[in-house]
């Protein structure tokens, strides 16, 4: 396979109106819930990225008839909670942690055996966080001795509910257990240490499945109910928008509108953090679309200051730190992040990989065990960036070029297609001097 490299010339500003692709978390869940519902679910705004296509293909491999995606439209002919068929061969989750962790909850409750595999990056990521609590529910899952994929999931197990306090703030683990809970006898109750994205809870309710909220951080489901098909309009992904929010903030002369962005309060940490740094972000035309809040965002360039990032915002901005580190590199003074060790378990070790790219750009970036300290400064150029198969690393350094002193070359950048197909064209249209080469 040829490698895709991004080459960025320095400078530029971001202007005009853009719409980034659909939300990745909601797109995954639309396929999962639509497949397990009875009736036909119509999805619009679906993210046609490789991660969500891995989820879609897995359900097709288990006998679900799915039409599309066609310009973001997907029609799912749900088979009901007990209608999946045994797949022939392993299910390939590609680069997608969300697919693997949520699917393991669903598959633990099936009558048939299954195997989940992933690419080199996904095969290194921790899966014990889901296999251990699933085992407490009665599931039988064999991982590697390191607790990683492939996951061999035994079917025909009787699951029972558990009360589980999540050891880390993870929407993937919470969602995995709630999905397994649909197949369990009795009540599955999950308590999170801090609020994380709540798309699973919202979608359970949207598909008519009873979910009990016990206080702000505990969610409970009982097995034995049904999901009923519905319509889902997927908003644009705030995580994909974040690259442009930072780009427009740091590039003098920028004035950009990002349309129809999902602003679910469990996802808006990036807006809060950027505003604390002095960013000029306005929410326009706030509305609710299909159970999720949405707005157009107007972002104008503004001088940023370094801050100490409040720890309670970390889970609410968990995917946006790579690009927030670029904002910190362009800010006046020091930015300090703590309480973010989860960043080391993403598609790459995002603390180390970002520091490894910022330092050659001339920025003082010092990783710590659970975060990083970045002193803003003048960005250099003529550097080569290694993405470590991580889409968000590639897109973050692309935005850094807006303030760089020379060319930035980003290697292995093809992984942006996992979450953001069309990134290069959209970014170029908005004013980024980017071109993709195959090397």
175 binds ligand S3P (CB under 6 A): yes
- From 197, 260, 388, 391, residue interacting with ligand S3P (rule: CB under 6 A): 197
305 annotated ligand-binding residue: no
In the bound state with ligand S3P, the residue whose beta carbon lies nearer, of 319 and 412, is 319
172 annotated ligand-binding residue: yes
Question: Which among 125, 124, 107 is positioned nearest to 116, based on CA atoms?
Answer: 107
170 binds ligand S3P (CB under 6 A): yes
Q: Is 86 helix (H, G, I), strand (E, B) or coil?
A: coil
Q: At closest approach, how far in Å is the CB of 188 from ligand S3P? A: 17
CA torsion through residues 203, 204, 209, 211, sign? negative
124 annotated ligand-binding residue: no
319 binds ligand S3P (CB under 6 A): yes
Return the structure tokens found at 371: 């975060």
30 binds ligand S3P (CB under 6 A): no
Helix, strand, coil proportions of the chain in percent (round to 5)?
35, 30, 40
* Contacts of ligand S3P in 10-29 (CB under 6 A): 25
95 binds ligand S3P (CB under 6 A): no
110 binds ligand S3P (CB under 6 A): no
**Options 233, 237, 319, 390, the catalytic residue:** 319
349 binds ligand S3P (CB under 6 A): no
Select the span of 32-40, 164-172, 246-254, 259-267 touching ligand S3P (CB under 6 A).
164-172
Which ranges of 109-197 does DSSP label H, i.e. alpha helix?
128-136, 171-181
Neighbours of 156 (CB within 10 A): 9
> How far is 100 from 113, CA to CA, in rounded Å?
15
Contact yes or no for 95/415 (Cβ under 8 A): yes
- Residue 117 DSSP one-character state: E
Q: At closest approach, how far in Å is the CB of 270 from ligand S3P? A: 13
268 binds ligand S3P (CB under 6 A): no
170 annotated ligand-binding residue: yes
Contact yes or no for 298/257 (Cβ under 8 A): yes
In the bound state with ligand S3P, the residue whose beta carbon lies nearer, of 296 and 319, is 319
Separate counts of helices (H) and strands (E) for the chain: 12, 23
Helix (H) or strand (E) holding 24: helix 24-36
Active site residue 272: no
256 binds ligand S3P (CB under 6 A): no
Active site residues per annotation: 319
Instruction: Write out the residues near ligand S3P by the rule CB under 6 A.
Output: 25, 98, 170-172, 175, 197, 318-319, 342
């Amino acid at each position: 396979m040829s490698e895709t490299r991004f080459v960025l010339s320095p400078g530029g500003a971001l202007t005009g109106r853009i719409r980034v692709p659909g939300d990745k978390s909601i797109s995954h869940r639309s396929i999962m819930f639509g497949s397990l519902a009875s009736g036909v679910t119509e999805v619009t705004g679906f993210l046609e990225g490789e991660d969500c296509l891995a989820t879609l293909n897995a359900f097709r491999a288990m006998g679900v008839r799915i039409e599309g995606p066609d310009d973001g439209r997907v029609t799912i002919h749900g088979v009901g909670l007990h209608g999946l068929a045994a797949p022939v061969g392993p299910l390939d989750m590609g680069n997608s942690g969300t697919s693997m962790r949520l699917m393991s909850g669903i598959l633990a409750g099936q009558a048939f055996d299954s195997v989940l595999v992933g690419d080199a990056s996904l095969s290194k990521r921790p899966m014990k966080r889901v296999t251990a609590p699933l085992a407490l529910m009665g599931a039988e899952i064999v991982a590697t001795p390191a607790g990683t994929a492939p996951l061999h999931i035994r079917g025909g197990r009787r699951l029972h509910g558990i009360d589980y306090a999540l050891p880390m703030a993870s929407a993937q683990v919470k969602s995995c257990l709630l999905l397994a809970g649909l197949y369990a006898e009795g009540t599955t109750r999950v308590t999170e240490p801090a609020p994380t994205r709540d798309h699973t809870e919202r979608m359970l309710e949207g598909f008519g499945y009873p979910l009990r909220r016990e206080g702000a951080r505990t969610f409970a489901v009982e097995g034995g109910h049904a999901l009923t098909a519905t319509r889902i309009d997927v908003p644009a992904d705030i995580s994909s928008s974040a690259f442009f929010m930072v780009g427009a903030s740091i590039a003098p002369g920028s004035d950009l509108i990002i349309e129809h962005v999902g602003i679910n309060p469990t996802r808006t940490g990036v807006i809060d953090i950027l505003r604390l740094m002095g960013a000029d972000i306005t929410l326009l035309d706030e509305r609710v679309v299909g159970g999720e809040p949405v707005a157009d965002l107007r972002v104008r360039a503004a001088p940023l200051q370094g801050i100490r990032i409040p720890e309670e915002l970390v889970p609410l901005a968990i995917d946006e730190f790579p690009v927030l580190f670029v904002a910190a590199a362009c800010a006046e003074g020091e930015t300090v992040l703590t309480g973010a060790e989860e960043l080391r378990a993403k598609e790459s070790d995002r603390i180390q990989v970002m520091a490894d790219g910022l330092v050659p750009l001339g920025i003082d970036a010092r990783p710590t065990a659970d975060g990083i300290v970045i002193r803003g400064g003048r960005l250099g150029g003529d550097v080569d960036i290694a993405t470590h198969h991580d889409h968000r690393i590639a897109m973050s350094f692309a935005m850094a070029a807006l303030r760089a002193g020379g060319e930035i070359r980003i290697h292995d950048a093809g992984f942006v297609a996992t979450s953001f197909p069309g990134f290069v064209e959209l970014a170029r249209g908005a004013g980024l001097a980017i071109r993709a080469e195959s090397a």
